[in-house]
Amino acid sequence: MPVHALKQPEGNVPSRFILFRECKGPCPGRHYVAMRDNHRPKQDLIHEVTGLRKQIVDLKEAMVARRRVEDALRSAEALLRSLADGAPVGLCLFRRDGTPLAANGPFARLLGYDSPAELQRIGGVLGVFATAEEQSRVLGSAWSGTGSVPNALFRHKDGSRLSLGALTSACAEHEAVTLAIYDHAFQG
């Protein structure tokens, strides 16, 4: 019988106990050789099983550590959100193009929106600042280092203009500007 021929089980051995591997030699086509007589030493198998068990334990430990990190991040995010929403002043993070990335509840309510999500959705389309020039002036103050804009003009949800005192700070890492409202001057 040729080496690359398929060996049939001999005797009363169920076929599921016979392992086959692809013939790597010069045999043409796809032929299989039985590995029934290709035994590995018992000690090698023991070492392999021990190594696999250690990998399983390491994976479980990594999963537990990852879960702890995720829980800590969720907790920190919840604390930061409650700090921002509980602040007595309006806070908003803007992209360089003037679209709001995030805002707290007081900032949204100050501009007439029911929630920060509504401010982001509607303000992202219509704009939060009264004019494009005002947006450039306010956000530019953060990048120029001025940081204080006493009469920043914002667009209220109903379309009216709102003059507010604002402090700005640039965040170069995220290409964003943080804005805090410190004075509510007039609405008109």
The verdict on 102 and 134 lying in the same domain is yes
Residues above pLDDT 90, as percent of the chain: 37
Given a contact cutoff of 8 angstroms between Cβ atoms, the answer to whether 179 and 91 are in contact is yes
Task: List pLDDT tens digits, range 9-47.
Answer: 555 544 444 444 455 555 555 444 455 556 778 888 888
Q: Which residues, other chains included, contact 153 with Cβ-Cβ below 8 Å and sequence gap of 6+?
A: 129, 130, 131, 134, 161, 162, 163
pTM for this entry: 0.60
The verdict on 16 and 48 lying in the same domain is no
Q: So what's the pLDDT on residue 179?
A: 87
The verdict on 63 and 152 lying in the same domain is no
Q: Which amino acid belongs to residue 113?
A: Y
What's the distance, CA 58 to chain centroid? Answer: 25
Query: Token digits for 73?
Result: 């991040």
Q: When comparing pLDDT for 69 and 30, which is higher? A: 69
Give the CATH number of the domain where residue 123 resides: 3.30.450.20
**Dihedral (Cα; 126, 129, 131, 137), 10-degree rounding:** -140
How many domains, the chain? 3
What domain range includes position 111? Answer: 88-187
The verdict on 82 and 93 lying in the same domain is no
The verdict on 93 and 182 lying in the same domain is yes
Instruction: Name which of 116, 117, 109 is nearest 88 in CA terms.
Output: 109
The verdict on 30 and 18 lying in the same domain is yes
The verdict on 113 and 97 lying in the same domain is yes
Given a contact cutoff of 8 angstroms between Cβ atoms, the answer to whether 163 and 174 are in contact is no
Mean of pLDDT values over 127-141: 91
Q: When comparing pLDDT for 1 and 155, which is higher? A: 155
Residue 135 CB neighbour total at 10 angstroms: 21
